[in-house]
Structure 1
Amino acid sequence: MLDALTIATAVCALLLAAWCGVAFARHEPTKDWHFIGMAVVSLLAVAQLVVGVVQLARGQSPEQGTVLFVSYLLGAAACVPAAGFMSLAERTRWGSMTVLAGGVVLAVLQVRLYDIWGG
Structure 2
Amino acid sequence: MIGWYTAAQIVVAVAAGVLCLVLGFAGRRPSDLSVGSLALVVLLLIAQIVVAVIAPLVGNPPSGSLLEFWVYLVSAVLLPPAAVFWALLERSRWSTVIMGVAALSVAIMVWRMHVIWTVQVA
- TM-score, length-scaled by structure 2: 0.89
- Larger mean Cα displacement after TM superposition, 24-33 or 54-63: 54-63
Return the alpha-carbon distance in structure 1 between the equivalents of residues 3 and 103 of structure 2: 19
CA shift in 2, pair 1:56/1:71, >3 Å: farther
Correspondences of 1:58-73 after superposition (within 5 Å): 58=58, 60-73=60-73
Q: What's the Cα RMSD here?
A: 1.4
- TM-score, length-scaled by structure 1: 0.91
Return the alpha-carbon distance in structure 2 between the equivalents of residues 59 and 14 of structure 1: 30
Confirm or deny: 8 A CA contact 1:27 1:93 kept in the other structure.
Answer: yes
Confirm or deny: 8 A CA contact 1:49 1:77 kept in the other structure.
Answer: no
The match for 1:44 is 44
Return the alpha-carbon distance in structure 1 between the equivalents of residues 57 and 67 of structure 2: 13
The C-alpha deviation readout for 1:82-117, integer Å capped at 9, x for no partner, is 211111112001111110110110010011001100
Return the alpha-carbon distance in structure 2 between the equivalents of residues 115 and 47 of structure 1: 18
What is the count of residue pairs matched by the alignment? Answer: 119
Return the alpha-carbon distance in structure 2 between the equivalents of residues 69 and 41 of structure 1: 18
Q: Percent identity?
A: 30
Return the alpha-carbon distance in structure 2 between the equivalents of residues 116 and 99 of structure 1: 25
The C-alpha deviation readout for 1:63-97, integer Å capped at 9, x for no partner, is 22111111111112222122111111120011111
The C-alpha deviation readout for 1:37-74, integer Å capped at 9, x for no partner, is 11111100111111011113446432221111111111
Return the alpha-carbon distance in structure 1 between the equivalents of residues 75 and 53 of structure 2: 14
The match for 2:116 is 116
Confirm or deny: 8 A CA contact 2:25 2:97 kept in the other structure.
Answer: no
Return the alpha-carbon distance in structure 1 between the equivalents of residues 98 and 36 of structure 2: 16
Amino acid at match of 2:107: A
How far did residue 9 of structure 1 move? 0.9
What are structure 2's unaligned runs of at least 5 residues? none
The C-alpha deviation readout for 1:15-46, integer Å capped at 9, x for no partner, is 11111111112111110121221111110011
